[in-house]
């Protein structure tokens, strides 16, 4: 393992990227890093391609998206295999969490984009009486840079790319240094659909490459990754006033109420905390269970955790795969060790899985933790579930909201009306009642965070809006009558407006309207 890390460091210095399977530590391949000069050329090419691409109708652009979908369907197994190999996730999750949401999103975009992006009339209220009309046209922005993480290496960038392209933008993707071959596969998927040259490109590299893309004069950056990198992206983007969407980390709470179906909720907790090895922005990272049912709930969670099989992603019976890197594994180890040293009780797991060759941490459940522990406050991003208790709903809400993050949250109960009341009080971009995580795959709904979990939204109507410029067009059909607020000004103009305001915004409607009409008749425009 040490040799391999050294190899990676040396290659990085040589402007190369080494991709490995984190489950087996086998080398997948080596790639050249895109240089700054090449990035500039790619950006120029995209800018040139924009005019023609933007001039197509949405229907024409959707035809390309359909070809993208067909290509994915035809190559389902190969794509899923690559995702599982380069990311380390179970093969089944490559299909359910990467490919399925992508196909679903393309279908949604094809069926709904024309309607969502068609021009929209605005009701002008009183001003309608003056025969004025306003409407909005949604115009593409230009060239969009998309910077992606490795955890859902296909579904996250694919969804953003498809929406951005359909809106008429050109796109440049900088994929994660941990999953560069999936980046190339995405390039191929779009190339095979016959997209015109320069409309979509992929660049390869580390953080520096991402930073070079951010400062290359694009029209928007859509970044998905950690809070610390997100802040750097925003700082760099500020220098050129490039707008950003930031989809950042989370520390998502699960609230389990007293009346819950314990069998159902404990299964949900185990899946929500350990799927993708817990490397999900919306993983269940903190559990708050009502104290009256805590023992039974914890017993079920531990029992079900012990039934999980950890292994190589391509082994079709693997439930929990590898972690992406040694660095990520060490963060998990650090959080768990700190918790242990402060008196946490490890009920299962709590250490690396050394029976397997790659970066594996055993699914871990722990209790006797509180918000003085990193495992409760910081994003752990690993297969770890800290469980705490609460006495009443207010305490659960307060504990859930006590975080710098606010991506998603979940409430588990049979009392749906009560859960809705709690949901309204939670500071999170998405609140699930009796489910978790899967709303990311509901492409019809907005995805994004409160607080440090991010800025802006992807998916759904709000996601589309991030990729367009709303242009307001105003028409005055009264093109012969000069406006009464135009020159020239006089005391009469002031009196006219005073009465106009009284008529509009006070109770003395009749007298002010008469006075207004009198002043209006004397008003002189030039």
Site residues (CB under 6 A) for ligand NAD? 147-151, 156, 174, 176-177, 206-207, 210-211, 214, 224-226, 229, 232-233, 247-250, 281, 379, 381, 407, 449, 454
d(CA 337, CA 516): 77
Minimum Å gap between C-beta 8 and ligand NAD is 14
Query: Which residue's CB is nearer to ligand NAD, number 84 or number 224?
Result: 224
Query: Which residue's CB is nearer to ligand NAD, number 23 or number 454?
Result: 454
Active-site residue (options: 177, 247, 285, 300): 247
Query: Phi-psi bin for 362: left (phi > 0), alpha (psi -120 to 50), beta?
Result: beta
Are the CB atoms for 175 and 200 separated by under 8 Å? no
Query: Which residue's CB is nearer to ligand NAD, number 98 or number 300?
Result: 98
Nearest to 388 by CA among 261, 255, 282: 255
Query: Which residue's CB is nearer to ligand NAD, number 21 or number 148?
Result: 148
Query: Which residue's CB is nearer to ligand NAD, number 176 or number 439?
Result: 176
What residues are paired with 252 via a beta bridge?
284
Are the CB atoms for 444 and 475 separated by under 8 Å? no
d(CA 419, CA 400): 14
Minimum Å gap between C-beta 485 and ligand NAD is 47
The span from the first CA to the last CA of the chain, in angstroms, equals 83
Query: Which residue's CB is nearer to ligand NAD, number 174 or number 304?
Result: 174
Q: Is 247 a catalytic residue?
A: yes
Query: Which residue's CB is nearer to ligand NAD, number 71 or number 462?
Result: 462
Minimum Å gap between C-beta 382 and ligand NAD is 11
d(CA 25, CA 357): 7
d(CA 342, CA 376): 12
Minimum Å gap between C-beta 149 and ligand NAD is 3
DSSP 235-259: HHHHHTT--EEEE----EEEEE-TT
Minimum Å gap between C-beta 84 and ligand NAD is 18
Active-site residue (options: 62, 170, 281, 443): 281
User: How many CB atoms are located within 10 Å of the residue 9 CB?
Assistant: 10
Q: Could you say which DSSP state residue 177 is in?
A: T
Minimum Å gap between C-beta 177 and ligand NAD is 5
Two structure tokens written together for 73:
């369907």
d(CA 65, CA 80): 19
DSSP 188-208: HHHHHTTPPTTSEEEE--SHH
Report the SS3 class of residue 230: helix
Q: Could you say which DSSP state residue 352 is in?
A: B
Minimum Å gap between C-beta 401 and ligand NAD is 18
Nearest to 410 by CA among 280, 265, 293: 265
Q: Could you say which DSSP state residue 320 is in?
A: B
Minimum Å gap between C-beta 159 and ligand NAD is 10
Two structure tokens written together for 224:
């998905």
Q: Could you say which DSSP state residue 35 is in?
A: P
Nearest to 221 by CA among 206, 241, 242: 242
Query: Which residue's CB is nearer to ligand NAD, number 260 or number 437?
Result: 437
Burial class (CB in 10 A: 0-12, 13-18, 19+), 492: middle
Report the SS3 class of residue 70: helix
Residues involved in catalysis: 247, 281
């Amino acid at each position: 393992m040490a040799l391999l890390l050294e190899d990676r460091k040396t290659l990085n210095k040589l402007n190369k990227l080494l991709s490995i399977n984190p489950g087996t530590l086998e080398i997948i391949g080596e790639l050249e890093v895109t240089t700054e000069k090449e990035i500039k050329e790619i950006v120029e090419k995209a800018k040139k391609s924009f005019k023609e691409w933007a001039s197509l109708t949405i229907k024409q652009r959707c035809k390309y998206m359909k070809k993208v979908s067909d290509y994915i369907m035809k190559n389902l197994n190969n794509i899923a295999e690559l995702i599982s190999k380069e990311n380390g996730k179970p093969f089944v999750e490559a299909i359910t969490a990467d490919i399925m949401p992508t196909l679903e999103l393309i279908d949604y975009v094809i069926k709904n984009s024309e309607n969502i992006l068609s021009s929209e009339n605005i009701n002008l209220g009183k001003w309608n009486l003056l025969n004025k009309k306003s409407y909005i046209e949604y115009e593409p922005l230009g060239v969009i840079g998309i910077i992606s993480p490795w955890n859902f290496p296909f579904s996250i960038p694919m969804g953003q790319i498809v929406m951005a392209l359909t809106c008429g933008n050109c796109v440049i993707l900088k994929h994660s240094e941990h999953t560069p071959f999936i980046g190339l596969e995405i390039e191929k998927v779009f190339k095979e659909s016959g997209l015109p040259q320069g409309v979509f490109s992929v660049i390869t590299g580390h953080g520096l490459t991402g930073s070079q893309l951010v400062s290359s004069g694009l029209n928007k950056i859509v970044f998905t990754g950690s809070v610390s990198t997100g802040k750097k992206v925003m700082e760099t983007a500020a220098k050129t006033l490039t707008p950003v969407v930031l989809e950042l980390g989370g520390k998502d709470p699960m609230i389990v109420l007293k009346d819950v179906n314990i069998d159902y909720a404990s299964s949900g907790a185990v899946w929500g905390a350990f799927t993708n090895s817990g490397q999900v922005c919306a993983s269940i990272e903190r559990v708050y269970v009502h104290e009256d049912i805590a023992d039974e709930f914890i017993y079920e969670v531990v029992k079900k955790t012990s039934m999980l099989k950890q292994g190589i992603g391509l082994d079709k019976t693997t439930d929990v795969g590898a972690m992406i890197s040694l660095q990520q594994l060490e963060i998990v180890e650090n959080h768990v060790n700190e918790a242990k040293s402060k008196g946490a009780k490890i009920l299962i797991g709590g250490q690396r899985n050394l029976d397997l060759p790659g970066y594996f941490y055993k699914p871990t459940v722990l209790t006797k933790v509180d918000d003085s522990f990193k495992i409760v406050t910081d994003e752990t991003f690993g297969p770890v579930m800290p469980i705490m208790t609460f006495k009443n709903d207010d305490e659960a809400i307060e504990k859930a909201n006590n975080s710098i993050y606010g991506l998603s949250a979940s409430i588990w109960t049979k009392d749906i009306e009560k859960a809705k009341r709690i949901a309204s009080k939670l500071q999170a971009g998405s609140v699930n009642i009796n489910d978790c995580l899967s709303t990311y795959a509901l492409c019809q709904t907005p995805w994004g965070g409160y607080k440090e979990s991010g800025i802006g939204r992807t998916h759904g109507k709000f996601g589309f809006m991030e990729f367009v410029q709303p242009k307001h067009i105003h028409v005055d059909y009264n093109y012969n009558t000069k406006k009464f607020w135009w020159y020239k000004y006089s005391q009469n103009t002031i009196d006219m407006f005073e009465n106009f305001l009284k008529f509009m915004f006070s109770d003395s409607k009749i007298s002010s309207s008469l006075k207004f009409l009198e002043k209006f008749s004397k008003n002189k425009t030039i």
